[in-house]
Amino acid sequence: MVLIQKEKYFLKSTNAMKEIGGYYEIEYSNIELGGIHSSALLLNSGRYALEYILRANNYRRIYVPYYICDVIFEPIAACGVEYEFYFVDEQMEPTAIPMVKEDEAFLYLNNFGFKNDYIPKLASLVNNLIVDNCQALFAPPAPGVDTFYSLRKFAGTPDGAFLYTNKRLNTELPPYDCTHTTDHLYSRGNVSPNAGFMQFRENEQKLSGIGMGQMSATTRKFLNTYDFEKNKLARDRNFLHLHHVLGQHNEYQAMDIDSVCGPLFYPLLTPSATLKQQLIANKIYVSTVFPAIHKAVPEDSYENYLSHQLIRLPIDQRYSIADMAYMARIVIDNL
């Protein structure tokens, strides 16, 4: 638990109209700090880490939550694997556990890294569990459970994923060439977030369809020089600040405040129809969470409500308590 002095919750920000949120700029340290997930396989992207698992195990079918990013279907389609959806409840846990056969797998999304304690329990209930920890970089993998992470969601890198699995493919993967996919990282740091946004979108598109590969040499170098502990502590601090101020307004229940572990965002769930637009108008960039979900789920489902009403507030290492106070004030003023 990160402790914060009470008076800091009410600091007034001097950063009016500061741009908050969005993609990362490139970040380096001048000293070697030891990296993160040193025993994992280093791949180019989280989606290809899932493809690695599917191919190594020759799975025929996979159970997938409705509430998940649609890029996950790229590796599923590439492997020719059948899929079947399942629902989750307000604790983000499956409403029903299927009988998973030997040639099938069950994919579980660790939303914002708050389901770490639940994963071992789920592993005891379902066969061939795969954990998507792309929103939980700092969560340790459960022993014996295939688990993958995305580095790009937490830091300014052109590629990067970590994979824990006991199965190995016999083929050696080519290293990812990021020569032409780093421009947006420097544009944000040297100019502004908007300056490199289209380049950021282009990089996202380039990662689609490139196939499995090893992590690029550029990102491997980044691992040894980046202060991951500072990243995590900043996220913990900022999350706890926002929750102290906004918790009473938040409908999202699947958060264990006592086990905060470097969350990706602060998930704010409210019925407000205009809050997101007000945040963007104040240069706080909040994206729509899994926008394609509403096309696949019933209108009265919890997943549909989440896809429309959940706002992911930026809490990462680039921002201070003063930034959180500024953002919280805008939220409260527009509820």
- What does the H/E/C string look like for 174-230? CECCCCCCCHHHHHHHHCCCHHHHHHHHHHHHHHCCCCCCECCHHHHHHHHHCCHHH
- Confidence band, pLDDT 50/70/90 cuts, at residue 210: confident
Q: Which CATH superfamily is domain 6-24+228-333 in?
A: Aspartate Aminotransferase, domain 1 (3.90.1150.10)
What's phi and psi for 65, nearest 5 deg?
Answer: -70, 145
pLDDT computed for residue 58 by the predictor: 98
- Long-range contact list for 191-199, CB < 8 A, 24+ apart? 192/19, 193/19, 193/22, 193/23, 193/285, 194/19, 196/23, 197/22, 197/23
* End-to-end Cα separation, the chain, in angstroms: 29
* CA nearest to 261, candidates 128, 152, 135: 135
The tens digit of pLDDT for each residue in 110-138 reads 998 999 999 999 999 999 999 999 999 99
**How much is the average pLDDT of 279-301?**
83
Q: What percent of the chain has pLDDT over 90?
A: 66
* Range scoring the smallest mean pLDDT among 14-23, 128-137, 246-255, 300-309: 14-23
The total of other beta-carbon atoms located within 10 Å of residue 139's CB is 21
* Within this chain, domains 6-24+228-333 and 41-225 share the same CATH topology: no
What amino acid is encoded at 307 in this protein?
A: S
Q: Whole-model pTM?
A: 0.86
Domain 41-225 indexed as CATH 3.40.50: no
Q: Pairing relation of β-strands 129-132 and 146-150?
A: parallel
Tell me the Ramachandran region of residue 31: left when phi exceeds 0, alpha when psi lies from -120 to 50, beta otherwise.
beta
Proportion of the chain above pLDDT 70, given as a percent: 81
Length of the chain equals 335
Q: Please count the other Cβ atoms lying within 10 Å of the Cβ belonging to residue 121.
A: 12
Tell me what the mean pLDDT of segment 175-184 comes to. 70
Whether 214 has a pLDDT exceeding 50, the answer reads yes
pLDDT digits (tens, 9 = 90+) for 64-90: 999 998 899 999 999 999 999 999 999
Domain ranges of the chain: 6-24+228-333, 41-225
- Mean pLDDT score of the chain: 86
Question: Taking a C-beta distance cutoff of 8 angstroms, is the pair 64, 106 a contact?
Answer: no
pLDDT for 335: 92
Q: Select from 296, 303, 290, 239 the least CA-distant residue to 268.
A: 239
Report which of residues 50 and 30 the model is more confident about: 50
